[in-house]
Amino acid sequence: MTDTPLAHKSLADRIAVVTGASRGIGRAAALALAEAGAHVIAVARTQGALEELDDAVRAAGGSATLVPLDLCDYDAIDRLGAAINERWGRLDILVGNAGVLGKLMPLGHIDPKVWANVMDVNVTANWRLIRSLDPLLRRSNAGRAVFVSSGAASSCRAYWGPYAVSKAALEALVRTYAAETETTAVRAMLLNPGPLRTAMRKAAMPGEDPETLRTPEELAPHIVRLASPDWTGSGTIFDFPTGRVLTPQKPA
């Protein structure tokens, strides 16, 4: 953290919601956004980890509002929108990052509860966030929504069924939202982080040496860039492994 005055920071006075801010990619994104000057509304279930994030944000000279919330509690997502409306009247940045892996196993063996939870967190919660926060993003002069997908959405590897299906659905959701906001100041991006050193990756690939992977902190400046008013892309995928913006194929 430098001692740049807040007014000179790229996201000074911006209001940002980050889901899954308690660890991994979401935590790194929340801290980087706060360092860039945004006030971060940090969402996750684990209150202690949110409080540790708050300490780090304050130490960096930033500010955060902590929202301990289970994203499967959709009424709570509606209340979050109402509370942001009451306090700020707008939202500048939404980072829909929270996600779960579920279990890696053949489609025929998956417990319906596991399937439902993966869809609830990875798909429906992001739709409910859009439903609750879209009016507030439209009130920003440059609303930016960034949703964290995965290469699994298109690789369709054996045993990754619920996760792959959920990320493919997320991509359809966000591309639809981008189309619906095309003529507004809102831009909606997808992000493929590639393999990063987090708890989720460890659970998916227990035999892998985490030291061989890039970190969420290396990705975080790109999330700041996607969240910035001068980012113009929408409905496309920022692919961190290649550093390229990918445009999904549309039927002729």
The span of 97-105, 138-146, 174-182, 221-229 binding ligand NAP (CB under 6 A) equals: 97-105
Locate 118 and state its tokens. 């993966």
Among 199, 208, 242, 246, which residue sits at the site for ligand NAP (rule: CB under 6 A)? 199
100 contacts ligand NAP (rule: CB under 6 A): yes
Among 193, 219, 227, 235, which residue sits at the site for ligand NAP (rule: CB under 6 A)? 193
Residue 71: CB minimum distance to ligand NAP, A: 4
20 contacts ligand NAP (rule: CB under 6 A): yes
Angle of helix 216-226 versus helix 24-35 axis, rounded to 10: 50
Three-state DSSP at 93 gives strand
The span of 2-10, 57-65, 93-101, 178-186 binding ligand NAP (CB under 6 A) equals: 93-101
Query: Is the distance from CB of 86 to CB of 34 less than 8 angstroms?
Result: no
- Report the distance separating Cα 76 and Cα 84, nearest Å: 12
22 contacts ligand NAP (rule: CB under 6 A): yes
Note if 163 is an active site residue: yes
Instruction: Give the E-state strand segments of 7-80 in sequence order.
Output: 15-19, 39-44, 63-68
128 contacts ligand NAP (rule: CB under 6 A): no
Q: Which residue has the tokens 């591309």?
A: 175
161 contacts ligand NAP (rule: CB under 6 A): no
Considering only CA atoms, which of 39, 8, 205, 18 is closest in space to residue 96? 18
Is the C-alpha dihedral spanning 68, 59, 9, 146 positive or negative? negative
- Look up residue 170 and give its amino acid: L
The residues annotated with a catalytic role in the active site are 163
Chain residues that interact with ligand NAP, rule: CB under 6 A:
20, 22-26, 44-46, 49, 70-72, 97-100, 121, 148, 150, 193, 195-196, 198-201
